Structure 1
Amino acid sequence: MNNQKVRKVVLAYSGGLDTSVILKWLQDKYNCEVVTFTADLGQDDDLALIREKASALGIKDKNIYTEDLTEEFVQDFVFPMFRANALYEGYYLLGTAIARPLIAKRQIEIAKLVGADAVAHGATGKGNDQVRFEFGYYSLNPKIKVISPWREWDLTSRNKLIEYAKVHNISVPQDKTGEPPYSIDSNLLHNSFEGKVLEDPGIESDYSMLQRITLPEQAQDNPEYVEITFAKGDPVSVDGTKLSPANLLRKLNEIGGRHGIGLVDIVENRYIGIKSRGVYETPGGTILFHAHRAIESITLEKAASHLKDEIMPKYAALIYNGYWWTHEREMLQALIDKSQESVNGIVRAKLYKGSVTIVSRKSDNSIYSQTLASFDDENYNQSDAEGFIRINSLRFRV
């Protein structure tokens, strides 16, 4: 982007250190008008304070956009993903990855609204988010100019970034130890943490950075039961109380958090080829994942269930790698959504010190037959299984 003239740019702005430095840098480097966009995805940021920060850096009020997108985020992005039981590399519930398509979508919409010819983000040149944002931008507006400061500037370390901030009177946050904080991404689905001691996968973290959950060993000694009602694969109520998508996830976060549900400490493979360690806390999402699989277990036919399991890794990788706005993801989504037409019912889960145990599942659409499953069933001729086995084992015996 260095050689391209930019008139107006829409910056994905969190109000934190990185994007505040980027805001100032864009003004100095490109001498362009900057529009800030802050998406409230349930991360509990003070949007009024973020507006003040942008204003203090010279952004006009008309160019400061802060929007509550929590309901859209959960309804149109999180829930469709959970219909697929999506897990990346066996552990990661894709909390950061699923937020990027929505932010990119709204950035492009605002760029069109204000007549901007460019968009910018604060993702580093080592991470996945640069790919996710930019794939989203180009999918929705192939002609948009994209500025990625971390790939352009000479602020190549955290220390240089902090020095730049101090020179330009940009506040530098500190954690409880007086050091720069972990790299944190938060939304209603999860919190993620990277950096500092986590950069060494051989060192155990003390998990002092956790914000959403109690450590399992410190959680209450009494288990708690929660009932989730599903309609066409989506959760619609908790303990009999119907809730909006965002409020339902908030409720499950609250319940799961006090029982230490949803803590993972993993090393994952980034799309660009780097391995990275992250700590994630996803209490409500973890409960939903187990509950959804449980209701599917009695409402989905075997072949359909196994087909979903086969395509899930592909679907999860598409989201992780930034391909939400693609035909292949939409095609898989159509298949997944078709499978959910009869995924209705109630799941009861027991929560205790970090574990989610499904204790019951009921559905008017259940295809589970207690009669067939019973050892006392006299209508099933067990000798019929001999022919089944002989035919299917023929290739072993030839």
Structure 2
Amino acid sequence: MRNKKLLELLNSINAKKTEVIDLSNEGKIEEAKAAKEELKNLQEQFDLLKDVIDPDGDGQLSEPQAQGAVPVQKKDSTSEFANAARSGFKNVTMTEGSPADGGYTVPEDIQTKVNEYRSAKKSLIDLVDVENVTKPKGSRTFKKRSQQTGFVKVGEGKKIGAKTTPQFERMSYEISKYAGYLPVTNELLSDSDTNITGTLISWLGDESRVTRNNIILDTVKTQKKQAITGLDDIKKILNVTLGQAFKSTSKITTNDDGLQWLDTLKNSKDEYLLQPDPANPMQLRICAGATIIPVFIVPNEDMPSDVSTEGHRKVPFIIGDLKEGVKFFDRNLMSIMTSEIAAIGDLNAFEEDLTIFRAIEREDCKIKDSAAFVYAEFDLADLTVKASKA
């Protein structure tokens, strides 16, 4: 009886699979999605009963299976993605995406691995406010920052005066496409599933990370630059420009050049001001009197200093709360295509026996609150001048 129940579920699963395929082929996408959810529930029920009824079994039912019934195998995302890549992402079902762009939408489980890889390196995305969106354009409403004036004294029987009402502002976004390509040898495509998938995930993840860093930095740089000449200027930005509204949640974000300068600062006791946080030794912070501020370091390659024609090296310092300052709209939709005949510059896929992968992702970035951070620059030439005067 137990095996009979499993057989009935198995037959229901296969019937539901056929239904999903038929609905999809007929273009009834919403109905196909609903049927897919039913299929998922049936599969979970089958797996649950199988674990209880036959926990030590080899996956085979002792009773004869119903005619045409095929056990449903768990998906191996690595193999599926590798096989799709080998076929040039042809003859595979697109899960989402824009028909105008074409391409194979990277599956959710593979995109999760891309996100994990992207987060493993220095990324500014964790510092800003990220919102996942499903529409190519839209707008959001925010309450404007305003100075509260408090209630006023009113005499007995006198009229209460009107107070200033809250003011609001709207932020509009419009998703843009960002794309790049990767040529790979066809020998790689004949390699193991793990190698193929790992290569593509590392490429997608790293390119996506750098792309997002660039988008965020370009947005931050729309702020008016403020020159700083030393630590006192940074403290003034924190204490006065940002004030108590943002000081407690602020960070200093700079590059390797900025780290080198901060790492040389000492107090009157000849103690270095840049120290690891005792609660989190991997987190650096500046400890200068009453000011204790976390420091986030981005490699020069991702956040380069500005080298002028006069040879001045100006180091970027983003000081403040980027969660409140910058809004990143992520459509969370990455698609990928391949070509064996494309020619890009001196690169000819057909002649060189290559396959060129092209990836597209979609996002936008806006200033959310310009009062929440300051984009500053420190000219390293000032150090030379001070040293020559010492």
Place the TM-score, normalised by the shorter chain, in its bin.
under 0.3
User: Computing the radius of gyration over CA atoms, which structure comes out larger, 1 or 2?
Assistant: 2
User: Which structure shows the higher strand fraction?
Assistant: 2
Say which structure, 1 or 2, has more relative contact order (CA 8 Å, 6+ apart): 2
TM-score, length basis structure 1: 0.24
User: Which structure shows the higher helix fraction?
Assistant: 1
